[in-house]
Amino acid sequence: MSSQAIGVFDSGLGGLTAVKQLRAIMPHENIVYFGDTGRVPYGNRSAATISRYAKQDARFLLSHNVKMVIAACGTVSSTVLDLGQVLPVPYINVIAPTALAAVNATKNGRIGVIGTRATIGSGAYKKEIERLDSGVTVIQRECPLFVPIVEEGFISPDDEIARLSVERYLCYIKAHGVDTIILGCTHYPLLKPVIGQYVGADVKLIDSGKETAIYASKLLESRGLLNDSRNTGECSFFVSDRTEDFTSTASIFLNSNIGENVERVDIWNY
């Protein structure tokens, strides 16, 4: 058993949806979260830049003696394929557990994938789905406006900006008759009510943060690394830009107030 924290990083706030799921599934675990708010978004950057940023983010988490690193970022997960090879602790990205959940969920063999430009451009989800089941048809769509829409709080099914954006991006996927859609960015679960309203109740929406948290729990248990404390775990939050902006928006992702428990770090030092 280990009381060391689980390290989670993301390009900004989206990874907090994974933190929320980790806290629900493993309430006794301590968590260190880093959001690279000073360099967000990653989705429009080159692969070389994303790789450099991700490795700095991971090194920061390792400086806090974490027992696991989770890339709760679809962009990093799909483009930085060698990250796990350079880390001394177990590493998880969102691709494999999410793709597996989608393959298990589909009934008609038609899966939609939505994500940032970098995630969709990498084809990582498509490759992993087809590796798991070569008979599945994958329809992909990049949705670059979804991240800023979520971070501005435009997430209600009644919000015209959210509703029109979802219709604009998902009409192509909906027209292909998918019965399962991967929310391939950890921001996107906050748009689940809007997306669900548009595509209909019969379409299964796969939350990458939730599936990754489930997989992390199983991996920690298999390696004897779960925290055996009966106390509720603590969460520490770090960002690379203004803490005030993070604090005010984090409550939307976590459904709870994190107070003053946020520190700014100079990520260029790592």
Q: Give catalytic residues, as residue numbers.
A: 73, 185
- As a whole number of Å, the end-to-end CA separation of the chain is 29
Sign of the four-CA dihedral 106, 134, 208, 229:
positive
- From CA 80, how far away is CA 52, in angstroms rounded? 9
Helix 16-25 to helix 243-254 angle (10° resolution) is: 50
Angle in degrees, CA 82, 68, 211, rounded to 5: 85
Tokens of 226: 């779960």
Helix (H) or strand (E) holding 102: helix 95-105
In the numeric block, which tokens belong to residue 41?
């978004």
If DSSP codes are grouped into helix, strand and coil, which group holds residue 129? helix
For residue 24, what are its two tokens? 């629900």
- Alpha-carbon dihedral of residues 20, 270, 42, 112, nearest 10 degrees? -50
Report yes or no: 36 and 240 within 8 Å, Cβ to Cβ.
Answer: yes
